[in-house]
Amino acid sequence: MRNVLGSVGTWVVRRCVTGPELARMSNHTDVLTSMRYEWRHTGRTPGARRSLAVLQERHPDIGVDGLDDLCGVVTILEARGGRTVIERARIVQALLEECGDPELHRALLQTLLPGIVSVCRQLRFGDGIVRDPSETVSMALGFASELLTDWAGQSRTYAAPDLLSALRGRLRRWLMKEKAASLATRANYSDNEPAVESSPLLARLNSFRGSQYERIAGITYARVFEGRSLHDVAAADHSAPSTLQKELQHFAIHYLI
């Protein structure tokens, strides 16, 4: 039997966009919406307030003094947050410099969500390459989080555009590998799975081998790479589809992003 943890590299998300693409997607709970709800709590925790204090101390000139928590930071970084483009850019620049802090990492990821979806839209959500547009969004979230880790400590005047540009490149390369893998599979070379084996999430998911999360990682593999429906994997797992969907989303949000 294939070692699912040795090849899984993405996870399932549902309904990630609005507009014309929505017709091609299901009506299950949106992971992006779940992230936003979760952020309303985590952005206000004592840890988030401590991280904000560090940000204020190290960057007293970016205008975040007076805010109560990191939710406030994300709010003022929205287009209608009351700050100019230049002011928002300076805050994002500071967040990237301090991105080694998990709380500030999460705040910056939350800030970038609209841009991440925009990148996916530019690449047509992998239309014609992946079965479900949500797979493309899930990979984009993982890539974005990894970019924040890789670039933490850097000072970039145009941090947000730079990050999204790098994300677009990584996501495009992944789609090209997925397309190559699909063509190889159709040519009966099913043993050749370059897109799976080269997944940037491979090392992270390998860490769950033998742990209490091995089962959910295996279900994720079956759902994404084998193309099995949620109802099929739920039946095999003897779970209710709605319950299993929530479990997949919880795994993605809390352990993969």
State the pLDDT at residue 202: 60
Distance between CA atoms of residues 59 and 90, nearest Å: 10
Q: What is the mean pLDDT of residues 154-166?
A: 96
Q: Is 191 exposed, middle or buried (0-12, 13-18, 19+ CB in 10 A)?
A: exposed
Is pLDDT above 80 for 25?
A: no
**In this structure, what DSSP letter does residue 28 have?**
S
Residue found by looking up tokens 């279900």 in the block? 219
Is pLDDT above 50 for 14?
A: no
Where residue 42 falls among pLDDT bands split at 50, 70, 90?
Answer: very high
Would you kindly state where each structural domain of the chain is located, as residue ranges? 4-256
63-116 pLDDT tens trace: 999 899 999 999 999 988 899 999 999 999 999 999 999 999 999 999 999 999
Where residue 137 falls among pLDDT bands split at 50, 70, 90?
Answer: confident
Inter-axis angle of helices 159-186 and 133-151, nearest 10: 130
Q: What is the mean pLDDT of residues 165-172?
A: 94
Q: With contact defined as beta carbons under 8 Å apart, do 98 and 64 qualify?
A: no
From residue 184, how far is each of 174, 181, 244, 247 by CA, in Å? 15, 5, 31, 32
Where residue 180 falls among pLDDT bands split at 50, 70, 90?
Answer: confident
**pTM assigned to the model:** 0.63
State the pLDDT at residue 191: 47
Is pLDDT above 90 for 250?
A: no
Is pLDDT above 80 for 182?
A: no
State the pLDDT at residue 226: 64
Q: Which of 12-16, 120-124, 204-208, 225-229 has the highest mean pLDDT?
A: 120-124
State the pLDDT at residue 256: 67
